[in-house]
Amino acid sequence: MPDSTLKDLLASAALAFTGTVTATGSSSVAGFPADDRTAVVTVREVLKAPDVLTLPAGATVTVQLSPELPVLAAGESASFFTDALAYGDSVAVRELARLPAGVPPGPAQPEGDSGTRREASAALRELAQEEIIAHAREADAVVRGYVVALEAAPQAQEPREYDPHWWVATLAVDVVEKGDIPLGDARDPVPVRVLYANSIDHRWRDALKPKAGQSGLWLLHRTDGPMAGIAPFQVLHAMDLQPSLQLDLIRGQGG
């Protein structure tokens, strides 16, 4: 990806970090085979990582180097953009792209605050904003409000273990940015009923679960089927609730 920007590279990578090759042709992950394009890299700083992974400075990562890029020798440094091969006690990744390492942190750039890290943080913020804008465009309604009631949704039968365990949150809405919802105001907010999955089963664990009094900007999706008679909208994704300040971002980008 010779013409890719830092933002493009971060968007494509699950894990990105700067580091120095300490060994080649070897692996630090038990059972992970090494060849002449396998390198053990000591992490200097993490640019992007999944929530499930903690990778401190000084940790080692086994990198299967891209066949499209030059082989690195011990002592060489770079910024690596990778996909996971194995996460556990040790980490093995497949290299997708590489950039020359930035200038190591000095007196004016304390550890963890290098130029590369700052650029990556700015790029990740842009990516997060773009994701919010795209999600808002897909939503059927975008409203500002707060939760005034929570109740279990009526069910035709007892919910099973893997069912979503539907509940209803009633929102008091004072701003309707998008959607066919009557307008209200701060003195006379409009009640809007919203379905959400209250199950803690792994299939639904990360679904948005509103709390009493919780306020913000809600990205609502129309309910289909029989449940639409209980609540016209639903929230499922963690991104369906945003800070109210994000209203300006969505308005500015035509969300």
Q: Which of 207, 201, 206 is nearest to 221 (CA)?
A: 207
Of 116, 124, 111, the C-alpha closest to 78 is 116
- Per the prediction, the chain carries an average pLDDT of 87
- H-type helices in 2-110, by residue range? 6-12
Of the candidates 19, 24, 17, which has an alpha carbon nearest to the alpha carbon of residue 74? 24
Instruction: Give the distance, in angstroms, between the CA of residue 49 and the centroid of all CA atoms in the same chain.
Output: 10
For the residues 141-167, what does the mean pLDDT come to?
A: 88
**113 and 211 part of one domain:** no
Query: Is the model's pTM score more than 0.75?
Result: no
Name the pLDDT band for 122 (thresholds 50, 70, 90): confident
**Among residues 114, 131, 148, which one ends one of the domains?**
131
Structure tokens at 161: 């273990």
1 is a domain residue: no
Q: Are residues 159 and 55 in the same domain?
A: no
Last residue of a domain, one of 92, 115, 131: 131
Residue that is last in its domain, among 79, 96, 131: 131
Per the structure block, which two tokens stand in for 211?
């709390």
Residues 85 and 177 in one domain: no
User: What is the CATH number for 206?
Assistant: 2.40.50.120
User: How many domains does the chain contain in total?
Assistant: 2
Q: pLDDT digit string (tens) for 37-89?
A: 999 999 999 999 988 888 899 999 999 999 999 999 999 999 999 998 877 67
Domain membership of residue 19 as a residue range: 6-131
Do residues 18 and 42 touch, judged by C-beta distance below 8 A?
no
